[in-house]
Amino acid sequence: MKTTLTYNRSPSMPTLRLPAGACDAHVHVFGPAARFPFADGGSFTPEDAAKETLFALHRHLGIERCVIVQSLVHGLDNRVIEDAIEAGGGRYLGVALVPVDVADAELARLAKAGFRGVRFNFMKHLGASASVEEVVALTQRLAPLDMHLQVHFESSLVHALAAPLARSAVPVVIDHMGRVDAALGPAHADFSALHALMENPLFRIKVSGVDRISRTANYAQGLVLARRLVEDFPDRCFWGTDWPHPNHHHVPDDGVLVDLLAEIAPDAALLQRLLVDNPQAFYRFDA
């Protein structure tokens, strides 16, 4: 299978100066495949997007901290993130992919290695990783380890998933604004349900993916929803680039994504919470 470059090799230099300790709370690492083989059966074969490339990107963008999320590109083999965490000097943490019957000893090992949570997909194009009832049951075993649950679902599922996820024994982080269709606006039933879910303090949300949920080149539709979430839930939002942008309809410019933060969090206090205070309190980076 032909390899696919999913990221911009020469992102622009952002004009927005980020606060000290700024965190990119959602990225992935791919390979190098020679050391960390890709999982079989993937829908595409990406070009390597290794930790060294990620570290260089963050230096370019002015980002000092990061949460790396395990991708289906590497399946349930979380070693590629463990390697990046170890090289990150306390500034890089992880979220793992695990089966619902993962052993307690393995969860404890991951927590000790710098993984702060586990992620489950409820996306048709990725294949459901487990039932929501099984995932919620697992959270009872995450609680003693101070690990959270991260979920990735398509927008129509928010109505069915909201009630069972509210029974989680640990905080729940929602990926990419619930993948709502931003073109439908904030009054649409899916975004309204997502906003209602966020009234529960158990939930957090990543205002990443304005480039995924918008239908316009300037991502204006997604920015409206992201800003609404940040303003309404200022202490429970995180932001991320989603580098290296797998399963995307185009290759975004990460420098542009950083500059859009000026519209997502339009004052210094909101930006400080979104990029520094919220991720520090939740993910617990080394001082």
Neighbours of 141 (CB within 10 A): 18
* Cis peptide bond upstream of 14, omega within 30: no
End-to-end Cα distance, the chain: 43
Cβ neighbors of 37 (< 8 A, separation 6 or more) are 77
181 is catalytic: no
Q: Please state, in angstroms and rounded to a whole number, the distance separating the CA atoms of residues 70 and 52.
A: 16
Q: Which residue has the tokens 């899916």?
A: 190
Is residue 227 helix, strand or coil? helix
For residue 105, give the H/E element and its range.
Answer: helix 104-113
90: Cβ contacts below 8 Å, ≥ 6 apart: 285, 286
Name the one residue in this structure whose structure tokens are 């697992």: 138
Which residues is 113 bridged to in the sheet? none
The CA R_g of the chain, rounded to the nearest whole Å, is 17
CA distances from 184 to 174, 181, 187, 215, 254 (A): 19, 6, 8, 10, 25
> Tokens 């990725």 map to which residue?
126
Q: Which of 24, 175, 242, 254 is catalytic?
A: 242
User: Hey, which residues are catalytic here?
Assistant: 242
